[in-house]
Structure 1
Amino acid sequence: MGSTEAVSKPVMHDEDDDDNKPLVFKKSFVKDGDQSHRKPFDINGDSEDGRPLRSIISMTQEQEINGNTTLDESDDDEAPISSRLQKKKHVSEKPKVSGKRLVEKDSYEDQSSMKKHKASSSTAKQDSMNLGEKRKAVVSPNDTDDEDDDDVPIAKRIKADSSSNNKTPPTKPKVTKQSSTASSKKLKVTRVASPPPKKRSKRSRKDSEYAQWTTLVHNGVTFPPTYQPHGTKIFYKGKPVSLSPEQEEVATMFAVMRETDYYNKPIFRKNFWNDWRKLLGKKHVIQKLDDCDFTPIYEWHLEKKQKNKDSKEKKPEQGEKYMWAIVDGVKEKIGNSMVEPPGLFRGRGEHPKMGKFKRRIHPHDVTLNIGKDAPIPECPIPGERWKEIKHDNTVIWIASWNDPINPKRDKYINLGDSSSQKGQSDKKKYEKARKLKDHIESIRETYTKNFTSKDVSKRQIAVATYLIDKLALRAGNDKDDDEADTVGCCTLKVDNVECIHPNQLKFDFLGKDSIRYENTVEVESPVYKAIGQFKAGKSNSDDLFDEIDASKLNDHLKELMPGLTAKVFRTYNASITLDKTLRRETKDGGDVNQKKVVYDQANKEVAIICNHQRTVSKSHGAQVKKLKDKIDELKEGLKQLRTNLKRAKKGEAPLEGSDGKKTRNITPEAWEKKIAQQKMKAEKMERDMQTKEDLKTVALGTSKINYMDPRITVAWCKRNEVPIEKMFTKALREKFTWAMDVEPDFRF
């Protein structure tokens, strides 16, 4: 059958000699080929007809295990996964390490039991054909070349070995399903001549270009357990009132929030009451929320919470089979396989819909995304069925449903942050921001020139681009009446911007997630003048940029650089600020804690640029006071240590301790060492207290997760011998696995 290939196997490491060292002393933070979260996957669950799920994997993957194909990592790392597929190599070549573990061979037995789903349109057939052409693998001589037969598994629709490419393909049996419910029923086979290959459509080329995977298998999603009534009554005007299970469930959601700020917010209470009243009905005895006393339910909640704590009862696990997907033969973790539970919507900031009841999501609300040849996952709730099944290989979500609070939005369950697909998506995002470096000067020259353009539309686009660049504002889209009245650059109103002589602008509006944006900035004189002209003759509620909208602005940005958006500006400015600040502020010497302070301050600068705010925590004051008390105690101890040093130099015995006990007599050198240690401890606490105070209203996590290229942080840690654990949590280290092997001299 032609040449065969060696199997790529993960490199085995001896971890005993390396794990005890700080990560900073290792060659890289992640060992080559370390994909510990991607273990060989033996599917133990059953398909809907009772057969093992391990029987569903395609023949192509079995050939990979048997040595017929191998992963080729020499391709461009930024290319979509579907374009980095296996290429044949001569058997004498040294196998290349893939860094991923493929599914074990015995997981692919019983291929005949695989379920196949018929494509719903000719377009879907053509997409499948293109994916098959991209994946080159060796197939059996008995397999035929029929790109258009969607009833045949992908593996059997892949081009044959090059040695048989010139042969005329024989006729191929077309398989038609009679039933998918009983494994005992046979498939009807009809032999038909292979139709001539079709030309690729533009849509097919585009889909193939952006393909994220070739095969995708998973077991669906899970749902929160059904509500169990507790039967606790509430008081209405001092009298106990019984509630139905549906009424009690929503009342409990409200009662348990008694100690939060939401509980007493007028808009939260109003929205809750409007939705709860619909469940109560017009004739219910409860007619006013303020006359309700939810104390009995709140006390029941506290009692149950304490019981769970005493018994150390764990939350029920979602189930191992729902936590993983198999993507192109590799086991990848799913972010969270459970759909959102019902509850009262909170939102962020002063969201106008806070307090509304977020209804329970059912299987008939959920759309699943799987491979064309994957079996449809069994619905976990008897009598229910999925809303829809999709086969979109250009996305990495596995399930979606309509948001009950914001019907125009969809919610998704995605592959986990540690998956290779998500990692490559992140890398592309930061690489696009890096490309902006090559265009940023010309872009700034262009909008600066247009500040004084006679064309009002050009002038508004120039000023809007300037604000997006300098203030990291979002583009902004028009809002419907039922949406939060948040504002972006293009939707600023006249009263959102105040001109302060000679060249300052004061911004005040609700930004993303209804978080208030307040900022006074100094701008260039032409910008100040242009804003004044845009405001002239308008009322406070009129649009500041009345000649443009987000669509027009985005079209302009894409003319400046392919793929340029407001978010690319934000990612670029966040990353370049971090890079330059760390290079400028990090000094040689100093301990890890001092270097961490430098990093936190640089992170703070980025968070301020991106306007990532947070409310001051209730415990902030107590935490600062506790640190201050410890610092005062250390300083008092320093005074006594210095006194004992003087006494030791005179040959006198040290003073008694504060507890009245005698202090051991030691040499002057020993006292000096104690003083240095105590002083260092006090200085560290002072730094911690100052950092806590500086960052009390700044959210560092958002920019670290979404906008600062992680390679900057990793390279900085390597250059300055700072353990990566000090900068990134375990979750972030898994998310940014792709960045861990960056060189120490990396520059954004």
Structure 2
Amino acid sequence: MASSSDDDTPLVKVNGAAAKSDERIPTSVDQAMDKETPSNGRLHPGISVRMGPVDDDKMDVDGPVKDTEANGTTNGKRKARNSVTNGKSYKEASSSEDDDIPLSKRRKTSTTKAKVSDSEDSDAPLSTKIKKPPKASAAQIGDSDSDTPLGDKLAKTKEKIEKAAETTAKKIRAEEKADEKKAATKRKKAVESSSDDDAPIVRKKKANGVKKAESDDDVPLSKVKKAKPAAKVKAEAATPKKGKGKAAKVETEQDLEAQEEEEQYNWWDDPSKSDGTKKWTTLQHNGVVFPPAYEPLPSSVKLIYDGKPVSLHEEAEEIAGFYGAMLNSTVNVTNPTFNKNFFKDFKAKLAKTGHAKDKDGNTVKITDFDKCDFTKIFDYFDSEREKKKAMPAAEKKALKAAKDEVEAPYMYCMWDGRKQKVGNFRVEPPGLFRGRGEHPKTGMVKQRVRPEQVTINIGKEAIVPKAPEGHKWKEVKHEQEATWLATWQENINGQYKYVMLAANSDIKGQSDHKKFEKARELKKHIDRIRKDYERELKSDIMADRQRATAVYLIDKFALRAGNEKGEDEADTVGCCSLKFEHVTLRPPDTVIFDFLGKDSIRFYDEVKVDPQVFKNLKIFKKAPKTDGDEIFDRLTTTQLNKHLSNYMPGLTAKVFRTYNASWTFATLLRDLKSTGTIAEKVKDYNDANREVAILCNHKRTVAAGFAGQMEKLQEKIKGLVYEQWRTKQMMIDIDPKQKKKRGAEYFELPEDMDQEWIEQHQESLVEEQRQKITKKFEKENEKLASEGTKEMKPSELKSRLEVADDLAKKFKKENKSKKVEADGKGPTVDKMEARVDKITQRIENMKLQAEDKDNNKEVALGTSKINYIDPRLTVVFSKKFNVPIERFFSKTLREKFDWAIKSVDEDWEF
């Protein structure tokens, strides 16, 4: 590599090629920058207090306006992945591309087509379109009573947590060293004793009479309270229960049998089981379920081209149907890239199938997207959706039962003789690829997967599932080191899709367990890693300094490492693949990141960094580097992970996210004192979770419908306040003296409730009751019809609706007389007072929910709780403060984290 002719410029650019940093950094460069921005000698803890999207405020930055322009796309709500395409649990499945969302559920829009050409404002800077991220409020981290600036408070909190991590790491290593020394001494004595046949070996016991177990790298870290030993559990289960006669004996035997069976499956008691390469000995399954064959459109439903209906070959018609069915998906059909890619694939299929035909059978070549009218196709699919929606419940139930019967054999497999649930046995149907963010391939046709593309993985002695009639599998393998059951390659990105076990299976659980145990293992080494990269931030070797800076950013700001991308892939980046335009420097110590991150979601963050890191980034961006040039040009993700593995086997950049989130939550949990109601305790948990999300930089954009959701919640609260006021008025109706006894203020109508609002609310209550009665009536009739019993007559519904009519009359009378009559059987003041108290509690709980929801709107609590915080810590909170685990984990998550729920108690520590 050619060296720079200027010692002050550690960059070279040869023949117009991309600028690359020189191998070494001249001392003169460091000294010059030290004078500009002197270091305080201490690394900044690394806190971002920016949340959400970006506004049009101009920033005082290190470069021209183009540095602040869009590096990607507008912020969009991240959609869930499709289980078929990413190997997630069948219960976690939700389409990333809205494939399964009924048309009737989607937003209706005009069927006017968008042009394939670029939009008029595509060249406009993103900063002129999106608002700037608001700063994190004190309420978001549960602290609003201090005069200390929030940034300083967050920095101090994080610094305290990192100091605790350093102390813990040293303590663990010291304990392990002492254990190793004792073990060595013990082995030496054993050898010496064995040389003398007459000298008996004396084994000393510890003071508490408990023999210390030998250390094992795979066993949870020291000073962690373990689950009960299997033998002890078994003994407790075998203890006779109180009771007499045969019944008690039978119950005990059943309990013992169930307990023994449970012991057999508690793989988390032996983490070493997941360390071997051989994952199974026997494996039997029934393959995959393919989507149904294409059903041609009715002859009356045609694509209109240049004002005339045309007929298409079935294969081309199917693709036209993909587009026509989603005309109401504005975000897609108004996207020029989506339309361009769709039309390219559509034309290619038309060319292969003989183009279109007019009513006389003449060939029509479709060449202009703007002349295509898919409205008839959309109307057909929309009507089909409406028919399905209007289908009687009994018929829907019958269809679902038939579908379940067909799929039943594929839902489970036999893995080492044990029945395990399969997570995603359905092959994804063909359609149009949506992607996320501004994916360059959005709109391309996802081709139908054929059996000839599918490879089956199964036991050698097992019966190979039969391929659909007339087809055969691509290959049958017996890879015992693999955990997939079937695989195929999709045509859009060339990625391999895998059929895996469900999230609650042993294999999936062991994978999660191993992930969090690896993060716990990092606890022993984090102080050394941080000291090393702090030292290497000043290295005169460019590669070392870039690596240290990258680890700092990954550790402090939760940046993903990033991987190299091909030209036809989405321009998504991570730390190691950041380019010149993705990083803007604002003196003295603010770095602005703006790029397309994972899943093509825009990542924007303003962070304060250590002065030395700021200087380094300035060096990495030094001229002649410009847009398109890499900042970390002497570092790759592979090199970074290889370096990290020197500290600990298996350590990669992504482990830092898990470690930092889990360690931060564990530290907060250790000092947490949660009291009060269940709702208050849940809020305490969410406050801690929110602080983790902020300290670890897990952010999200505010959902589009958030304002509406909050408005509905506030209306519910207001409705409860009105119900509370009416109940108080009933107390006066029962005993007029209560007004004087309790004071007029107790019975006053809230100021924000005028007569107009009251009447509107009363109408909504009456209508709500009508709908409830009607829905119940229809449901009962459907049940009668499914049982072959005569349905109830409309007169019965009319009779039932009289209750709602009576309520309307009651409200009308109250409004006229300004008095509320007591209702219920034998109403008394005490009963009404108890009802008021109950409503008050409901109001308080709902207010807590509203506050919690508002505080969480810009913080990715789900990301932290599900992916990065060790689920065992949530279980510890649940058991320590006696809060049902259902308040934190849904049914799907409880199945996924079953190993965590069953393996720890309230004294467990991360």
TM-score by length of 2: 0.57
Name the SS of the counterpart of 1:566 in structure 2. coil
Q: 1:305 to 1:609 in 2, by over 3 A?
A: farther
Match of 1:67 in 2: none
Partner of 1:126: none
> Which residue in the other structure is 2:295 paired with?
228
**Structure 1 position 459 matched with structure 2 position 548:** no
Question: Hey, what does 1:373 align to over in structure 2?
Answer: 461
* Cα separation, 2, equivalents of 1:238 and 1:726: 57
The one-letter amino acid of 1:724's match is I
With over 3 angstroms needed to count, the CA separation of the structure-2 counterparts of 1:610 and 1:367, relative to structure 1, is farther
1:361–1:601 CA distance, 2 compared to 1 (3 A)? farther
In the TM superposition, residue 669 of structure 1 has moved relative to its aligned partner by 6.3
Residue in 2 that maps onto 1:447: 533
SS at match of 1:389: strand
Instruction: For 2:651 and 2:726, locate their aligned partners in 1 and report how far apart those are by CA, in whole Å.
Output: 63
- Structure 1 unaligned residues grouped into runs of 5+: 1-36, 38-74, 80-92, 103-205
* Residues 91-125 of structure 1: per-residue CA shift (max 9 Å, x gap): xx9999242789xxxxxxxxxxxxxxxxxxxxxxx
1:329 aligned residue: 417
SS in 2 for 1:560: coil
Evaluate the alpha carbon distance shift between residue 543 and residue 694 of structure 1 in structure 2; reply closer, same or farther with a 3 A threshold: same
Q: Decide which of 559, 580, 593 is 1:473's aligned counterpart.
A: 559
Q: Which residue of 2 aligns with 1:249?
A: 318
Q: Spell out, residue by residue over 1:251-295, the C-alpha distance to the aligned partner (whole angstroms, 9 max, x if none).
A: 221122222222212211111111111122377443222332222
Which residue identity is paired with 2:262? G
Q: Distance in 1 between matches of 2:893 and 2:816?
A: 46
The structure-2 alpha-carbon separation of the partners of 1:708 and 1:452, relative to structure 1 and needing over 3 Å to count, comes to same
Partner of 1:355: 443
Of 466, 469, 476, the match for 1:382? 469
| SS of the residue 1:421 aligns to | helix
- Tell me the distance in 2 between the aligned counterparts of 1:252 and 1:699: 37
Match for 1:526: what amino acid? Q
Q: Map Cα deviations across residues 171-210 of structure 1 (whole Å, 9 max, x no partner).
A: xxxxxxxxxxxxxxxxxxxxxxxxxxxxxxxxxxx99932
Change (3 A) 1:507 1:432: same
Distance 1:389-1:659 versus aligned 2 partners, 3 A rule: farther
- Aligned with 1:295 (options 375, 388, 410): 375
Deviations 1:141-161 (A, max 9, x none): xxxxxxxxxxxxxxxxxxxxx
After superposition, give the CA deviation of every residue in 1:461-516 in whole Å (9 maximum; x if it has no partner): 11100111111222111111111111011100111111122211111011111111
Alpha-carbon distance in 1 for matches of 2:529, 2:559:
17
Does residue 1:99 correspond to 2:166, yes or no? no
CA distance 1:419–1:453, shift in 2 (3 Å): same
User: What is the DSSP-based 3-state SS (H/G/I as helix, E as strand, rest coil) of the residue aligned with 2:606?
Assistant: strand
Q: Write the mapping of 1:622-637 to structure 2, written as runs, cut at 5 A.
A: 622-635=708-721
Tell me, what secondary structure is at the counterpart of 1:209? coil
Distance in 2 (alpha carbons) for counterparts of 1:668 and 1:649: 12
Report what 2:252 is aligned to: none
Mapping of residues 37-436 of structure 1, within 5 Å: 97-99=260-262, 209-231=276-298, 232-260=301-329, 261-281=331-351, 284-311=364-391, 312=393, 313=396, 314-315=399-400, 316-317=403-404, 318-379=406-467, 381-407=468-494, 409-436=495-522
Supply the distance in 1 between the matched residues of 2:217 and 2:327 (Cα, whole angstroms): 51
Maintained 8 Å contact 1:517/1:611: no
The match for 1:600 among 662, 676, 686 is 686
Alignment partners' CA distance in 1, 2:350 and 2:693: 45
Match of 1:326, SS? strand
1:625 is displaced (CA, Å) by 1.8
Gaps of 5+ in 2: 1-90, 92-214, 220-237, 239-255, 266-272, 356-362, 749-812
**1:78 touches 1:424 (CA, 8 Å); kept in 2?**
no
Which residue number in structure 2 is paired with residue 744 of structure 1? 906
Report how many residues are paired: 556
Task: Select 1:650's aligned residue among 740, 748, 765.
Answer: 740
Cα distance in structure 2, aligned partners of 1:639 and 1:342: 57
State the partner residue of 2:894: 733
Contact 2:288 2:425 in 1 (8 A): yes
The answer to whether structure 1 residue 684 and structure 2 residue 842 are counterparts is no
Aligned to 1:663: 821
* 8 Å Cα contact 2:674/2:681 also seen in 1: no
- Matched residues in 2 for 1:629 and 1:310: separation? 30
2:138 matched residue in structure 1:
none
The share of aligned pairs that are identical, in percent, is: 45
CA contact (8 A) 2:880 2:906 kept: yes
The CA distance in 2 between the partners of 1:687 and 1:207, in whole Å, is: 42
Equivalent position SS for 2:485: strand
Q: Does 1:557 align with 2:637?
A: no
SS in 2 for 1:438: coil
CA distance in 2 between partners of 1:207 and 1:620 (Å): 42
CA distance, structure 2, for counterparts of residue 215 and residue 77 of structure 1: 29
Shift of 1:613: 5.5
Which of 662, 671, 676 is 1:575 aligned to?
662
Which whole-Å CA distance do the structure 1 matches of 2:609 and 2:741 have between them?
Answer: 67
Q: Please state how far the C-alpha of 1:78 moved relative to its aligned partner.
A: 6.4
Cα contact 1:715–1:745 (8 A) shared by 2: yes
The Cα shift of 1:727 comes to 1.1
Judged with a 3 Å threshold, the aligned counterparts in structure 2 of structure 1 residues 208 and 595 are, in CA distance, closer, same or farther, namely closer
Aligned mates of 2:693, 2:376 — CA distance in 1: 43
| Matched letter for residue 618 of structure 2 | G
Q: Is the CA contact 1:255–1:295 (under 8 Å) kept in the aligned structure 2? A: yes
Please tell me the residue identity of whatever aligns with 2:576: C
How many angstroms does 1:443 deviate by? 0.8
Report the 3-state secondary structure (helix = DSSP H, G, I; strand = E; otherwise coil) of the residue aligned with 2:479: coil
Question: In the superposition, relative to structure 1, how do residues 101 and 438 fare at CA in structure 2: closer, same or farther (>3 Å)?
Answer: closer
CA separation of 1:632/1:527 partners in 2, compared to 1, >3 Å: closer, same or farther? same
Stretch of structure 1 that moved more, 691-700 or 522-531: 691-700
Relative to structure 1, the CA distance from residue 372 to residue 258 in structure 2 (aligned partners, 3 Å threshold; closer, same or farther) is same
1:99 is matched by which residue type in structure 2? E
State the one-letter code of the partner of 2:906: P
Distance in 2 of aligned mates of 1:416 and 1:267: 35
**Letter in structure 2 aligned against 1:228:** E
Aligned residue for 1:559, secondary structure, equals coil
Question: C-alpha root-mean-square deviation of aligned residues, in Å?
Answer: 3.2
Paired with 2:552 and 2:217, the residues of 1 have a C-alpha distance of 33
Shift in Å at residue 244 of structure 1?
Answer: 2.3
Which deviates more, 326-335 or 274-283? 274-283
The alpha-carbon deviation at position 605 of structure 1 amounts to: 4.2
Task: Say which SS state the counterpart of residue 397 (structure 1) adopts.
Answer: coil
What secondary structure does 2:605 align onto?
strand
Q: Which amino acid aligns with 2:908?
A: F
Judging by fraction of residues, say which structure has more helix. 2
